[in-house]
Amino acid sequence: MKLELKGITKRYGSLVANDHIDLTVEQGQIHALLGENGAGKTTLVNVLYGLAQPDEGEILIDGQPQHLGSPSHAIKAGIGMVHQHFMLVPVFTVAENVTLGMERTRVLGLIDRRRTRRDVRELSERYGLQVNPDTLVEDLPVGVQQRVEIVKALLREANVLILDEPTSVLTPGESQELFRIMRELRSGGRSIVFISHKLKEVQEIADTITVIRRGRVVGQRPPTTSDAELASLMVGRSVQLRVTKPPASPGDVRLDVQGLTVAGEEDKSALDEVSFQVRAGEILGVAGVQGNGQTELCEALLGLVPAAAGSVRLEGQDLTHATPRQRLHSGVGYIPEDRQEDGLVAGFSVGENLILDVYNEPPYSSGIALDRGTINKTAAERVADFDIRTTSTATPVGTLSGGNQQKVILAREIGRDVRLLVASQPTRGLDVGSIEFVHRRIVEERDQGVAVLIISSELDEIYALSDRIAVMYEGKITGFRDPDVPPEELGMLMAGASDADAAAFGAAADHGQIAGGEAADETGLMEAGLYGVGLPGVAGNRREPADEGPAAGDGTHADGSDGSGSGSQSGGTQSGGSGSGPADDSGADPE
């Protein structure tokens, strides 16, 4: 089935979310839509799925013009969609969710549970989706929920499957599993519209990449196109994929954490006698697979959870039992992991969000009244200074794109005089342009003498920012390393290997690398360390189809051909990681 979009235009008031977009999706093709947050990708696929009506343009399927007035029209036309925010009822079972709207029934509309279950199981087996029809959706990990959405679309016999930012909620291992499923579907003759703002992903999986910027198609490229070219198409100017950062000049110890312990569920400690120091003018990066105590570390540093044991000192001052507000006053800035939940009040304006932590202090308030004038003035300055794209400072922050929301938080947290900056997953879900901006500002803070603690599950980010790296595993710090550590050594630490073992392995690998290793190999090893050891289940499921090889090759090739300063580190990681051969071998090695 061939799908054509011609001149699709969608306006929201004065904003043109889609501006005469033309797109052709051939049968059996994975067509990637690449674009920054707010570029209009979701709007376009909403139009395609009948959720939004275009102001201009038409949609043709196999040459026939279609009227897609509602999702049911789209479903009938063979279009299926997995939404960015899943459309699943959490308290329903998988089978109920999948068949909702097209239930298998017996007399009197009674639901035929046995047939429903059988259908779902058959379909999920056919594509190796592994979903149990009887589980409640709320009990499933996000990655499996996504598969439920895919089964849902397949049951409706979707010939074109739209996946809106499917990987933004997935772990790297789950993303690989999704890609395997996508390839399977493609080989079954279905077309896939794959939306992402991550370069490596589209290079890895797409057959064709269409880049959208500010509502317009700005180019169509093959997946072999270099990172740098795609990034500059996407952002509209050339971007640096890695921050250039002068060497650190650390000063005195600023943050001193000793034996910090936080109680977890049952008898386990979520944080287990963690000790580290961060100096002024230094960035300490905390690496680790998500869920190994990083969240608790942040919360304990900010006073959001009580410390069961240990101490936290900032510039000698004991903050172990201080309230969050006392800590903020002592100069702690905090960029939380979940910005919508913990960082912003979505319904408040940009200006109000910018003073959330100081609203009760002069000059923003006097007595019981807020000083709106000062608040607006400061807000306007910050908006300009941090390049926050918003129509006004009175706009509710919830309507901003993710990147701009993060800039609001950044502006609030480092706009005042901070001594310590704790940033958890500071660029999660952000586009290239915003990542660059956030990284640059964090390094600038460091250079002004702020102690910075970065917590990230993205190794790229750890390498890009850290002056020193700590690795967490099951609530403990398994080791400290300098940023020139080979990734596979970090991978071992992240998977729980002892400090000495990892060091020994790292030394050997280092040696091997000198003997003729290549950048791509190295990153391949690293990913193997992550998946192979850290997530054995995922590695076990992963079967790489034959067409995987060229993709990896292309990735390496792209890296080589573009010597113009886009970091081979960040470029190589994903494409190298998909190269299955060396990855799986080395994953077995450490054990």
Partner 1 sequence: MTTLTTAVRSTVAVNRTLIASATFVAFGLADILLFGLFSHGDATFAFAQFGAKVGVPNLVLPAAPVAYALGAVSIAIGVLRATVPLSRAGRRACIAGAVLAFVISLLCWADAGNSTALNVINLLQGTVVYSIPLILGALAGVMCERSGVINIAIEGQLLLGAFAAAVITSAFSSLWLGLIAGSLAGGLLGGVLAVFAIKFLVDQIILGVVLNVFASGLTGYLYDRALVPYQNRLNSPVTFSSVKIPLLGDIPIIGPVFFDSTIFLYITYAMIALVQVGLFRTRWGLRVRAVGEHPTAADTVGIKVLATRYRNVLMGGLIAGIGGAFLTIGQVGSFGKDMSSGEGYIALAAMIFGRWTPLGATAAALLFGFSTSLQSILATLNVPIPSNILLMAPYIVTIVAVAGLVGKVRAPKADGQPYVKA
Ligand X SMILES: Nc1ncnc2c1ncn2[C@@H]1O[C@H](COP(=O)(O)OP(=O)(O)O)[C@@H](O)[C@H]1O
Binding site for ligand X (CB under 6 A): 12, 15, 17, 35, 37-43
- Distance in angstroms (rounded) separating the CA atoms of residues 28 and 15: 34
- Distance in angstroms (rounded) separating the CA atoms of residues 542 and 545: 9
Q: What is the DSSP letter of 530?
A: I
Residue 548 beta carbon to partner 1: minimum distance, rounded to whole angstroms:
33
Q: Which does 542 bind (CB under 5 to 8 A by kind): Mg ion, partner 1, ligand X, none?
A: none
The footprint of partner 1 on this chain (CB under 8 A) covers a number of residues equal to 38
- Distance in angstroms (rounded) separating the CA atoms of residues 195 and 42: 8
Q: Give me 268's structure tokens.
A: 């386990």
Of the candidates 11, 60, 63, 3, the one whose C-alpha atom is nearest the C-alpha of residue 33 is 3
Q: Which does 288 bind (CB under 5 to 8 A by kind): Mg ion, ligand X, partner 1, none?
A: none
Residue 43 beta carbon to partner 1: minimum distance, rounded to whole angstroms:
10
Spell out, one character per residue from 270 to 309, where the chain touches partner 1: x when CB under 8 A holds, - when not. Answer: -------------------------xx--x----xx----
Q: Which residues contact 262 (CB under 8 A, 6 or more apart)?
A: 269, 270, 271, 293, 296, 297, 299, 300, 305, 306, 307, 308, 475
Q: How far apart are the first and last CA of the chain?
A: 47
Q: Pick the stretch among 42-50, 145-153, 258-266, 270-278 that binds Mg ion (CB under 5 A).
A: 42-50
Residue 429 beta carbon to Mg ion: minimum distance, rounded to whole angstroms:
10
Q: Which residues contact 16 (CB under 8 A, 6 or more apart)?
A: 9, 10, 215
* Residue in 17, 61, 75, 452 binding partner 1, rule: CB under 8 A: 75
* Residue in 18, 42, 390, 466 binding Mg ion, rule: CB under 5 A: 42
- Distance in angstroms (rounded) separating the CA atoms of residues 234 and 214: 9
For Mg ion, the binding residues in 260-289 under the rule CB under 5 A are none
Scan for tokens 């043109």, then name that residue: 16
Strands 160-163 and 317-318: unpaired
Q: Pick the stretch among 35-43, 428-436, 520-528, 536-544 that binds Mg ion (CB under 5 A).
A: 35-43
Q: Which residues contact 146 (CB under 8 A, 6 or more apart)?
A: 82, 86, 166, 169, 170, 174, 178
Q: Which is nearer to Mg ion, 44 or 388 (CB)?
A: 44
* Residue in 22, 338, 444, 447 binding partner 1, rule: CB under 8 A: 338
For partner 1, the binding residues in 86-145 under the rule CB under 8 A are 87-92, 96-97, 100-103, 105, 108-111
Q: Which does 39 bind (CB under 5 to 8 A by kind): partner 1, Mg ion, ligand X, none?
A: ligand X
Scan for tokens 């959490």, then name that residue: 90
Q: Is the peptide bond before 363 cis (omega within 30 degrees of 0)?
A: yes
For partner 1, the binding residues in 53-72 under the rule CB under 8 A are 70-72
Residue 383 beta carbon to ligand X: minimum distance, rounded to whole angstroms:
16
Scan for tokens 């342009």, then name that residue: 433
Of the candidates 276, 184, 234, 284, the one whose C-alpha atom is nearest the C-alpha of residue 430 is 234
Scan for tokens 């360390």, then name that residue: 529
Letter for the amino acid at 288?
Answer: G
* Residue in 31, 41, 83, 198 binding partner 1, rule: CB under 8 A: 83
- Distance in angstroms (rounded) separating the CA atoms of residues 260 and 177: 36
Residue 405 touching Mg ion (CB under 5 A) = no
Q: Which is nearer to partner 1, 272 or 436 (CB)?
A: 272
Q: Pick the stretch among 38-46, 64-72, 170-178, 322-330 that binds Mg ion (CB under 5 A).
A: 38-46
Q: Which does 341 bind (CB under 5 to 8 A by kind): partner 1, Mg ion, ligand X, none?
A: partner 1
Q: Pick the stretch among 46-54, 253-261, 505-513, 522-530 that binds partner 1 (CB under 8 A).
A: 46-54
Radius of gyration of the chain (CA): 25
Q: Give me 135's structure tokens.
A: 């589980």
Q: Which is nearer to partner 1, 91 or 588 (CB)?
A: 91
Q: Which does 305 bind (CB under 5 to 8 A by kind): ligand X, Mg ion, partner 1, none?
A: partner 1
Q: Which is nearer to ligand X, 19 or 554 (CB)?
A: 19
Q: Which is nearer to ligand X, 41 or 254 (CB)?
A: 41
Q: Which is nearer to ligand X, 427 or 466 (CB)?
A: 427
Q: Which is nearer to partner 1, 94 or 539 (CB)?
A: 94
Residue 398 beta carbon to ligand X: minimum distance, rounded to whole angstroms:
10
Biggest CA–CA distance in the chain, Å, is: 77
Give the other-Cβ count within 10 Å of 341's Cβ: 9
255 touches 248 (CB < 8 A): no
Residue 235 beta carbon to Mg ion: minimum distance, rounded to whole angstroms:
16
Q: How far is CA 456 from CA 290, 373, 420, 425, 465, in A?
A: 8, 38, 17, 5, 10
Q: Pick the stretch among 40-48, 142-150, 489-497, 548-556 that binds Mg ion (CB under 5 A).
A: 40-48
Q: Give me 475's structure tokens.
A: 């609530």
Residues contributing to the site for partner 1 (CB under 8 A): 46, 49, 51-52, 70-72, 75, 81, 83, 87-92, 96-97, 100-103, 105, 108-111, 152, 265, 295-296, 299, 304-305, 336, 338, 341-342
